[in-house]
A = this chain, B = another copy of it.
Amino acid sequence: MLVVQKFGGSSVADAKRIFNVAQIITEKYSEGNSVIVVVSAQGDTTDELIEKAKEINPAASRREMDMLLSSGEQISISLLAMAIEKLGFPVVSLLGWQAGYHTNSTHTTARIKRIERERIKTELDKNKIVIIAGFQGINRFGDITTLGRGGSDTSAVAVAAAMHADVCQLYTDVEGVFTADPRKIKNAQKLPEITYDEMLELATLGAQVLNNRSVEMAKKYNVEIEVLSSLNQSSGTMVREVTKMEKMLIKSVAKDDNVARVMIVGIPDRPGMAFQIFSRIAKAHINVDIILQSVGRDNTKDITFTVSADKGEDAVTALKDYIELIGGKSISYDTNVAKISIVGAGMETHEGVAARMFEALGDAGINIHMISTSEIKVSVLIDASEADRAVSMVHSAFFDDLSIK
């Protein structure tokens, strides 16, 4: 088997953890597998480098930022390689450009264009464990680029796709994907598998197990991902296209409290209003999530929508003048709200799922402000103060009477 393993910054934060990771890698290698490893910068290295740059020039060019930041993985890959040498295994560390990661030229948020496989192949043919610096590549001018936050996940999935790896193991600080946040919900259960689309919905819902770009890429190239923890030996959650009939309708309950609700009251009930409002919001680079428009009354209507918590004020600023101009009554926002979502691919064929969620919330006396649905997701907006209780109630409604392995 050809296995790609990816370890995040906290997994290689110090010498002890580096040896723990080296142990995981060499065990996989000793079982007879070819192993490619992608590593992030140690612990807080990237943040420390950003601080250094800010001290000198807060408006530094992105090209030089990439030059600076990419040094972080250079340190972690060489230290990890040294640990593997210490354990007596053949190993080589490669920087992004050495491993053949070619990207476009959008410094600090570059996209991988292709991976030239020659060097990696040569090293695998020599039976070496190949350690690759995640998060970085090279553009057509020979300049170093970085992939932005979560870039190492993308680096791992990309090399798994390019090398046709059998599996891409992404080691995180959680054991896998759960039916709810295991730190909050006592009987949250680890899912043995989940589809790419379900994973994507979960990621956008605040359950930040994996970076979305990496899941999208895995889906596109059909790379099997396993999400697991570097701190224990349990098997994790497989992310892959599942063809068999779903036994379970919903996979997970997620909470997102990084939400602001923007309320526009009393604007004229005539065509084009929504377009005017949301084109202004788009121009301000604000992503809108749920939108609710009230039924017209007295020739006026209300529009409510949600954005991420830090964009609430921006949204009001972007719209205030326009709302005044058209004679709207008021615009305001609040962040005392949370979004609770259930995700599952089987949902669309089972109309009772949403009703079961609403019933659980109703029984608990929790008021629903907004509702949004997609093919594999139902989200509701509620008061933030009731969010944890809501997750618990919804989780019970779906999982307490099911047995999941």
Q: Which residues of A contact B (CB under 8 A)?
A: 15, 18-19, 49, 52-53, 55-57, 59-61, 63-65, 67-68, 70-71, 74-75, 77-79, 81-83, 85-86, 92-93, 95, 98, 119, 142-144
Contact = CB atoms under 8 A, between A and B. Distances in A.
Contact of A77 (B57, B67, B74, B79): B67
B57 A82 contact: yes
Given A74-B71, A142-B98, A79 B53 contact: yes
B68 A79 contact: yes
Contacts of A85: 57, 59-61, 64
Contacts of A71: 71, 74-75, 78
27 contacts: A15-B52, A18-B56, A19-B56, A53-B79, A56-B79, A56-B82, A56-B83, A59-B86, A60-B85, A60-B86, A61-B82, A61-B85, A63-B92, A64-B81, A65-B78, A67-B74, A67-B77, A67-B95, A68-B74, A68-B78, A70-B74, A71-B71, A71-B74, A71-B78, A95-B144, A98-B143, A119-B142
Contacts of A144: 95
A57 B56 CA distance: 34
Contacts of A82: 53, 56-57, 60-61, 64, 68
A15 B55 contact: yes
Contacts of A60: 82, 85-86
Of A64, A65, A70, most buried by chain B (CB within 10 Å of CB) is A64
Nearest to A87: B57
Copies in the complex: 2
Contact of A75 (B49, B77, B98): B49
Contacts of A53: 78-79, 82
Closest 6 CB pairs of A and B: A68-B78, A67-B78, A60-B82, A57-B82, A57-B86, A71-B74
Contacts of A55: 15
A99 to B, nearest CB: 10
Nearest to A42: B52
Contacts of A70: 74
A396 B364 CA distance: 97
Contacts of A142: 98, 119
Contacts of A59: 85-86
Contacts of A67: 74, 77-78, 81, 93, 95
Given A15-B52, A57-B85, 10 more contacts: A15-B55, A53-B78, A56-B79, A57-B86, A59-B86, A60-B82, A60-B86, A64-B81, A68-B74, A71-B75
A282 B65 CA distance: 48
Contacts of A143: 98
Contacts of A15: 52, 55-56
